[in-house]
Amino acid sequence: MFKAILVEKDDAGYHANLTTCEESALPPGEVLVRVAYSTLNYKDALAITGKSPVVRRFPLVPGVDLAGEVETSAHPAYAPGNGVLLNGCGVGEQHWGGLAQKASVRADWLIPLPQGLSARQSMAIGTAGYTAMLSILALERHGLTPDQGEVLVTGASGGVGGFAVTLLAKLGYRVVASTGRLEQTDYLKALGAAEVIDRQTFSGPGKPLQKERWAAAIDSVGSHTLANVCASTRADGAVATCGLAQGMDFPATVAPFILRGVSLLGINSVTRPAKERIEAWTRLARELDSTKLDTMTHEIGLAEAIPAADELLAGRIRGRLVVDVNR
Task: Kindly state the DSSP code that residue 134 receives in the 8-state scheme.
Answer: H
Provide the Cα torsion 135, 138, 142, 143; round to 10°.
Answer: 80
User: Are residues 38 and 78 in contact, defined by beta-carbon separation less than 8 angstroms?
Assistant: no
User: Are residues 119 and 113 in contact, defined by beta-carbon separation less than 8 angstroms?
Assistant: yes
Q: Specify the pLDDT at position 284.
A: 97
Instruction: Say what the pTM is.
Output: 0.93
- CB neighbour burial string for 49-72, b if at least 16 within 10 angstroms, e if fewer: bbeeebbeeebbbbbbbbbbbbbe
Residue of 60, 64, 51 lying closest to 269 (CA atoms): 64
Provide the Cα torsion 282, 285, 286, 290; round to 10°.
Answer: 170
Q: Specify the pLDDT at position 56.
A: 86
User: Are residues 143 and 110 in contact, defined by beta-carbon separation less than 8 angstroms?
Assistant: no
- 112 beta partners: 84
Q: Specify the pLDDT at position 104.
A: 98
Q: State pLDDT tens for residues 154-200.
A: 999 988 999 999 999 999 999 999 999 999 999 999 999 999 999 99
- 238 beta partners: 216, 263
- Please, what are the domains in the chain? 2-113+296-324 (3.90.180.10), 127-266 (3.40.50.720)
Q: Specify the pLDDT at position 315.
A: 82
DSSP 23-85: GGGSPP-SEEEEEEEEE--HHHHHHHHTSS----SSSB---SEEEEEEEEESSTT--TT-EEE
The pLDDT averaged over each successive group of 10 residues in the chain (327 residues) is 95 93 96 98 94 90 98 98 96 97 98 96 96 98 98 94 96 97 94 97 95 98 98 98 94 98 97 95 94 90 96 86 96
257: three-class secondary structure by DSSP = helix
Q: Kindly calculate the radius of gyration of the chain based on its CA atoms and give it in whole angstroms.
A: 20
Q: Specify the pLDDT at position 3.
A: 98
